[in-house]
Amino acid sequence: MTEIGYKVDWSDLDLFGHVNNVSFFKFIQSARVNFCEKIGLSTINEKDKPGFIVASTSCDFLNPLNYQETILVKTKVKRISNSSFELEHSIQTKDKKEIATGKDILVVFDYSKNQKVVIDSDLKEKIERFGE
């Protein structure tokens, strides 16, 4: 499992003073990128190195989140298939109250060939190790 922290910023709020739903996707995106960097999947399309494409992302909102609260986004792997894997995210306050949950399906992708890539044993081991 990987974790990242974030302090809710004024720019995350909507007109009613609540954290905007779009901001939750920013939190999920940060967690996704952090996870992929740890396993060696580049977010910058490096030549001769696989990257990823987001096939699907979702978020379920469970509780309100307020300005200046500190959150923790915990990420783990739900499943690994031939060329994709699914991440689950739990967005929590520092006192462990769950605010939202999210899911991503990522496809391992070769940008130089413009095609998906089979997850090799080395990458699978990294995904499993960081995703527990």
101: domain CATH number is 3.10.129.10
* Mean of pLDDT values over 80-95: 97
Range of the domain at 21: 2-131
Q: Which amino acid is at 84?
A: S
For the chain, the domain total comes to 1
- Phi, psi angle pair for 87, to nearest 5°: -105, 145
pLDDT of residue 43: 63
pLDDT grade for 132, boundaries at 50, 70 and 90? confident
- Per-residue pLDDT band for 54 (boundaries 50, 70, 90) equals very high
Question: pLDDT tens, 55-75?
Answer: 999 999 999 998 999 999 999
